[in-house]
Amino acid sequence: MKWTQVSEQIWRGKGWLIFPFIPVHVWLVRDEAEGGWTLVDAGMKNMAQGVLAHVKQLNKGPIRTIVLTHGHIDHVGVIDAIVEETGAKVFAYAEEIPYMEGERMYPRRKKMEFNVKRGLAQPLPVNEQGELLPVGGLTPYFAPGHSPGHVVFYHEGDEILLAGDLFTSNRSGSKLKRPMPMFTADMDQAMKSARIVEKLKPRQLEVCHGSAVLNPVSQLQAYLNV
C-alpha cells in the first residue's frame, strides 16, 4: 500500500481493486481526544497488513475506531483483521447496517450482501434530536444516494471532507465526478447530497476511488448542471 499525508492529522492509504481497475482509499485520522487513530473506510481484505504496518510505523497508538461511509464490499475488507488486533469499535449509519449485514438487499442489486459480521458495526452516535455526533475526531453527515445510509466525515481542523463514494473524480483531481452509476442506489438522491460540499466548504475533498479535489465548492454548480 502507498501512504500519503493529506493534512496535519490525516493519512491516505491506497490499494487497488482489480475489476474495475480502480484505486481504493482508506484514511487514518489522528484521534486527538483519545490518542491513536480512527480508520475511515476499510478497503479490501488484502490491505490489512498495509494498514497495520503503517499504524505501527507512525508510532502514535493503535486504531481505536473504524467508521464506514457505507457498507459496500470494497469499504469493509480490513475490519475483521483490525478488530482482532486492536479491539477497535466499528460504526456506520444506523440505516446502512441491515444492508451490509445481509438483512436487506441494497437497492438495484440482485443478491443480498453479507459484507460485515452481524452485530459488529454499531450505529453512529446521535443526540436526542437524532443529529449525528462527532466520533473519533470527525463529524459525520448523512449523505445518502450512493447507498441508503451513506455518510461523509468532516475534519474541521484540517478542513478535509472524506466523502467515500458520494463522488468520484478524474485522475488529476481537477474534476468532480458522479459516483459509479452501476453501484449507486439512487443517483438523484446522491446529487442532492452533493450539496454538503456547499455547507461545509472543505479545503479539500477526498474520495475512495479517485484523486483528491481541491476547493470542491468551486465546481459544485457545474457538477449539478451536468
Residue number with CB closer to Zn ion (30 or 72): 72
Q: Which of 188, 177, 197, 208 is nearest to 41 (CA)?
A: 208
Residue number with CB closer to Zn ion (19 or 130): 19
Site for Zn ion in 70-109 (CB under 5 A): 72
Q: In the bound complex, what is the minimum distance in angstroms from residue 194's beta carbon to Zn ion?
A: 15
Residue number with CB closer to Zn ion (136 or 179): 179
Residue number with CB closer to Zn ion (96 or 165): 165
Question: Other CB atoms closer than 10 Å to residue 76's CB: what's the count?
Answer: 26
Q: Which stretch binds Zn ion (CB under 5 A): 78-86, 125-133, 162-170, 214-222?
A: 162-170
Question: Other CB atoms closer than 10 Å to residue 174's CB: what's the count?
Answer: 11
**CA separation for the pair 120, 104 (Å, rounded):** 16
* Count of residues touching Zn ion (by CB under 5 A): 2
Tell me the three cell numbers of residue 5: 499525508
Kindly tell me the number of DSSP H helices and DSSP E strands found in the chain. 6, 14
Half-sphere exposure of 41 (CA within 13 A, CB side): 30
- Is the separation of the CB atoms in 90 and 120 below 8 Å? yes
Rule CB under 5 A: say whether 165 interacts with Zn ion: yes
Residue with the CB atom nearest Zn ion in the bound state: 72
- The contact pattern for Zn ion, residues 33-72, with x = CB under 5 A and - = no contact, is ---------------------------------------x
- Is the separation of the CB atoms in 67 and 40 below 8 Å? yes
Q: In the bound complex, what is the minimum distance in angstroms from residue 76's beta carbon to Zn ion?
A: 10
Question: Interface with Zn ion by CB under 5 A: which residues?
Answer: 72, 165
